[in-house]
Chains A and B, each alone.
Chain A
Amino acid sequence: MASEEDVLRTEIRWSYVVAGATALILGAILFAGLARGINPPSNLERIDPKTLHLTGEFAEGNLGTRVAPNGDVTVRIVTTQFAFVPQCVVVPTGRRVTLRFASPDVIHGVLVAGTNVNTMVIPGYVAQVHSTFTKTGDLLTPCHEYCGLGHSQMWAVVRAVPPDRFAADAEGRANCDRL
């Protein structure tokens, strides 16, 4: 049977394997984060849940999709028990889109099925994610964090359309009704 030195030697060899495996995993994540810019949503932007619907970007008239004069596309959505406002938003495919969410009441979360859009929406903070949509169609966009008894009925639609069908009005607004 193995001597105490043999045991030690085997264990040290195995610890190289462990160190190598850990380094490989961390290396892959580091590469994705630094070289490909894949990082979690962390914009640390505060907003008062009690007043966000009264003035500013999350007042009702400013919600939905907006194209800035420089061409940037931003979508603003309020998540509230138990609905997304607006319930449908339109985005162009093949263009970088910024999505901004805020909650006036409890914790919500949002994911867009089949995309990398996924964030918590914490009252007190603006949640912001960027994405470039590739698939067209009505993408299922549920609230994915328990927010009360109506949680299961809380969902929205992200309507991804080809760039030639995406049209904004004179003020830069685009919405699902116009399609």
Chain B
Amino acid sequence: MIASRRLVLAHLWTAFIAFAAACVLGAWQMWVRSPLRPPLATPENYFLSVTAHGSAMAYVLTTFFIMGFGYYVAETALGRPLPRPRIAWAAFWIAMLGTLLALGTVLSGRATVLYTFYPPMTGSAVYYVGLVLVVVGSWVWVGLMVEAMRRWKKAEPGRPVPLAMFATVANAIMWAWTTVGVAAELLFQVIPAALGLVQSVDVGLSRTLFSWTLHAIVYFWLFPAYIAFYTMAPAAAGGRLYSDTMGRLTFVLFLLYSLPVGMHHLFMDPEHSTGFKFLQMVLTAFVAVPTLLTVFTITASMEIAGRLAGGRGLFGWIGALPWHRPMVLATGLSFVMLFFGGGGGLVNMAYGMNAMVHNTSWVTAHFHLIFGGTVVIMYFAIAYAIWPSLTGREAGSFTRQRLQLWLWFIGMMVTTLPWHWLGLLGQWRRVALFDYTNPTIAPWAPWVIVSFVGGLILLVSALLFVANLAGRHVPALRALPPRYAQSHHEASHVPTALNGFGFWNAAVAVLMLAAYGWPIAQFFVEPSPGAIVHRVDR
């Protein structure tokens, strides 16, 4: 068992408890939107629930999972104790305090602003301060990840940083950049408004700052899934990683191209010119590159495993893979969801076509399929994979784990495919109650009921996941060391540029200056008339 097991378990359990509670809310929300109206279906309760669901999933599940998994990787991939464990615990408690403050405020009904804030609408300052504390906790984690890698490089001069840790530090550095936008929005605009220090807000500026964070935050969530693809799935399948270098390149490209693209969330906004929207749209297209590289490398790695297991022919290796292993199964299901979710994303990105789908259920479907599907199913697989080395106990059988993964996949498809369709029909999002007597809306009813059924399947899967982790495990027969995939050709040396981040940080700075320099500066050169603060907490 690993030394920081209590630290890692504290983070993961916090993440998964928030996740399960948010799944209950999500299923209830689909019930409210359907013609079947459940009890307590008022706009107050619905939007409170949406705020809690979004905040718990986007800020609590992700941040705590990524921090916990990062500590795990730092210890196991580097084979060294974690630096400064007391500071890591302090960061945990800061983030925990922030979580309790933020979610408590939401549940008290004093911050029904949704998890994306929407100033000049303004809730209680406690909600925003709570979220800032969660981010502060994660900043400490960033520092610890960088320090763990630096200490290792000092002790092992000239050797390549293990891929799992290289990727974790890439994510940590990207996260530090990512949080600048939302931190500036909260600290300089939203919290002063919530405290009553200012009476108006420049909404164009606040939206631009939030967009800085909006895309890269999704890649922050996505990184653990990709780390599992590269460093865990090939080992679980009984093969090898096709190319270590391609993995490094992918993670560096994510660091580079996740950030200067957030304005694609503002295509339909009036406060930016076509030129900068076009520039960021082009950069967004480049984000597809690391994902396409990954699809290739992981498929090639799986092919190695399948052929080692005796698979023959063009596709025979697919059937020969050990699909009974949760990590292999989750990777396969994740790729299917990535196919649909990524395709939908290309439509969102195409800045003309975006007008057809902007703020419709299409968008809700896209991010649930990409984040809730592709990414979260890999969180499950990671948890199943590392649980034995955290608890010293093994699952008796994989059957319940596989059942849970299949339910999640089916539930996600049944929920989101109708949403895509409804979005194309014009169903707009963030609506509590639809008027099903309206002739345009009436035909949507059956599809909304189908996605409510999908929501129920997801809820069953979420509860089964928690039960699988908490349930009875058999004591392990032997010590359970974590297993990372070996590369097909072991990287004995890598270019300096792919063994650190100095150069890439400079490159991100240049790209961000080009992509966001003027779009932010314009609000100071020619200030917009402010919008009056609208309080929702009194």
Instruction: Report A's interface with B, CB cutoff 8 A.
Output: 1-2, 4, 7, 10-11, 14-15, 17-18, 21-22, 25-26, 28-29, 32-33, 36, 38-50, 81, 103, 105-107, 109, 111, 113-114, 116-128, 140, 142-152
A46 to B526 Cα, complex, angstroms:
10
A146 touches B355 (CB 8 A): no
**Known contacts A118-B356, A122-B203; is A148 also within 8 Å of B271 by CB?**
no
Judge whether B445 is part of the interface by a CB distance below 8 angstroms. Answer: no
Measured CB to CB, the closest approach of chain A to B252, in angstroms, equals 15
Interface residues of B (CB under 8 A from A): 43-44, 47, 112, 114, 118, 120-121, 202-204, 207, 242-243, 246, 266-274, 277-278, 281-282, 285-286, 288-289, 292-293, 296-297, 300, 304, 346, 350-356, 358-360, 425-426, 428-434, 438, 440-441, 488-489, 526, 528-532, 534, 536
Contacts of B489 in A (CB 8 A): 4, 7
Question: Does the CB pair A119–B121 fall under 8 Å?
Answer: no
The smallest C-beta distance from B98 to any residue of chain A, in angstroms, reads 23
Q: B44–A111 contact, CB under 8 A?
A: no
Query: Which residues on the A side are within 8 Å of B300 (C-beta)?
Result: 10
Residues of B within 8 A of A121 (CB): 270
Q: How far is the CA of A36 from the CA of B58 in the complex (A)?
A: 38
Which residue in chain A gives the minimum CB-CB distance to B271?
A: A125
**A151→B120 contact, CB < 8 A:** no
A29 near B352: Cβ-Cβ < 8 Å: yes
CA distance A49 to B533 in the complex (A): 11
**Contact A146 B293, CB 8 Å, known A125-B271, A140-B426, A152-B432:** no
Question: Do B277 and A42 touch across chains, with their CB atoms under 8 A apart?
Answer: yes
How many A-B residue pairs lie within 8 Å, measured between CB atoms?
Answer: 193
Q: Within 8 Å CB of A28, what residues of B?
A: 350
Q: Which of A10, A46, A128 contacts B529 (CB 8 A)?
A: A46
Task: Tell me if B270 and A45 are in contact (CB < 8 A).
Answer: yes
Q: Is the CB of B285 within 8 A of A22?
A: yes
The smallest C-beta distance from B280 to any residue of chain A, in angstroms, reads 11
Contact of A33 among B43, B114, B296, B352 (CB under 8 A): B352
B414 vs chain A, min Cβ distance (A)? 24
| Minimum Cβ distance to chain B for residue A176 (Å) | 17
Say whether, besides A140-B441, A149-B44, A29 and B350 are in contact (CB < 8 Å). yes
Asked whether, in the complex, the Cβ of B203 is within 8 Å of the Cβ of A40, the reply is no
Q: B371 to nearest A CB, angstroms?
A: 19
Asked if residues B529 and A47 are in contact (CB atoms below 8 Å), the reply is yes
| 18 more CB-based (< 8 A) A-B contacts, given A18-B288, A36-B352 | A21-B288, A28-B350, A40-B277, A40-B354, A41-B268, A105-B531, A106-B534, A107-B207, A118-B356, A122-B203, A122-B204, A128-B270, A140-B438, A147-B121, A148-B536, A151-B431, A152-B43, A152-B434
Which residues of B are found within 8 Å of A48, using beta-carbon distances? Answer: 529
Measured CB to CB, the closest approach of chain B to A159, in angstroms, equals 13
B285 CB to closest chain A CB, in angstroms? 5
CA distance A177 to B441 in the complex (A): 24
Contact B121 A106 (CB under 8 A): yes
Contact of B270 among A25, A26, A42 (CB under 8 A): A42
Complex: A121 Cα to B359 Cα, angstroms: 12
Q: Which of A17, A113, A126, A152 contacts B431 (CB 8 A)?
A: A152
Distance between Cα atoms of A148 and B204 in the complex (Å): 19
Contact between A50 and B529, CB atoms less than 8 A apart: yes
CA distance A118 to B450 in the complex (A): 27
* Inter-subunit contact B529/A150 (CB<8 Å): no
Given A120-B269, A122-B204, A124-B528, do A7 and B534 touch, yes or no (CB 8 Å)? no
Residues of A close to B207: CB separation below 8 A: 107, 122
Q: Which residues of B contact A113 (CB under 8 A)?
A: 425-426, 440
Residues of B within 8 A of A26 (CB): 282, 285
Min C-beta distance of A22 to chain B, whole Å? 5
Q: Which of chain A's residues have a CB closer than 8 A to the CB of B304?
A: 1
Asked whether, in the complex, the Cβ of B531 is within 8 Å of the Cβ of A44, the reply is: no
Q: Are A106 and B268 in contact (CB under 8 A)?
A: no
Do B270 and A151 have beta carbons less than 8 Å apart? Answer: no
Interface centre among A17, A116, A142 (most CB of B within 10 A): A142
Please give, as numbers and ranges, the residues of chain A lying within 8 Å of B351 by CB-CB distance.
29, 33, 39-40
- State in angstroms the CA–CA spacing of A144 and B297 once bound together: 40
Q: Please judge, given known A-B contacts A118-B355, A140-B441, whether A44 and B271 are in contact too, CB under 8 Å.
A: yes
Contacts of B350 in A (CB 8 A): 25, 28-29, 32
Which 10 A-B pairs have CB atoms at the shortest separation, nearest pair first? A113-B426, A38-B352, A123-B531, A144-B428, A48-B529, A144-B359, A125-B270, A124-B528, A140-B440, A127-B270
